[in-house]
Amino acid sequence: MIVALIDSGLGLLPTAAWLRKLRPDLDLLLLNDPDGAPWGPKPEQWVVDRVLDTARLALREGAEVIVLPCNTASVTALEHVRAMVGPDVPVIGTVPAIKPAAAACAKVAVWATAATTDSAYQAGLIAQFGGDAEVTGVACHGLADAIDRGDLPVIAEAIADAAARTPADTEGIVLGCTHYPLVLDDILATLPPGVRVFDSAEAVAGQTLRRMDALGRPTTGTGTVRILASGRLAQLPSAAAAFDSGRLLGATCGDQLTAS
């Protein structure tokens, strides 16, 4: 069984890392879109069409499960993808970890892209899952794009700016963009001691495996990882090794989720 993950850029890596950690023999198809990235600032219909085209490509490549480890794609296109593929192909979206953060912390900040921060979708999640916690949205301008480019100075500047605009006495920060766990160490280093960080990648991976197992089909694979960048086979050396690297798994699957 092939599981396809769709994102505009590198935001699919944390969920891919968790899937490889939890089910190392799973065959993964990673589809990102350097030609169209970033998706966040694009018109809604443009994003819907782009995600649907990528989902069609995933099906042609043999995918039996589709994951949208991307908040923008989930907000705008999740239901469209489900309608297109039908009930026999599970489609798993991504929801920021507001519920567990609000249950554990009295004051929560949701770090996300500007588009997600301003969206009715995030406002609805806060209203539904925020409980008695005080939840504030913090737009991390340019952070996801800088992560895709590997622009370390801009990454550091964007994190510092978001930290400066996070309300004082915040107890928990929700990473509301799937790119952000890739720079978790840098985020933790910027936060005051004791602030907890919540991420949804592990939960998305777990839900993917549950939906996949519920199909009742053989799931044993060979641990193959294929990468298609805007439909082109990505020429990356040792793709599987990249997802097992200490840096990636340490950032996305590690136990250090509290600033020290």
Catalytic residue positions, numbered:
70, 177
Tokens found for residue 228: 């298609």
CA–CA dist 127, 167 (Å, integer): 19
Q: What is the DSSP string of 21-40?
A: HH-TT-EEEEEE-TTT---T
Is the N-terminal amide bond of 38 cis, ω within 30° of 0? yes
Pairing of strands 232-233, 225-229: antiparallel
HSE-up of residue 3 (Cα within 13 Å, Cβ side):
38
CA terminus-to-terminus distance, the chain: 41
91-92, strands of its sheet edge to edge? 91-92, 63-67, 2-6, 27-32, 225-229, 232-233
Long-range contacts of 151-160, Cβ-Cβ distance < 8 Å, separation of 24 or more = 155/183, 155/186, 156/186, 159/183, 159/186, 159/187, 159/190, 160/190
Residue bearing tokens 């239901």: 79
196-198, strands of its sheet edge to edge? 134-139, 107-112, 172-175, 196-198
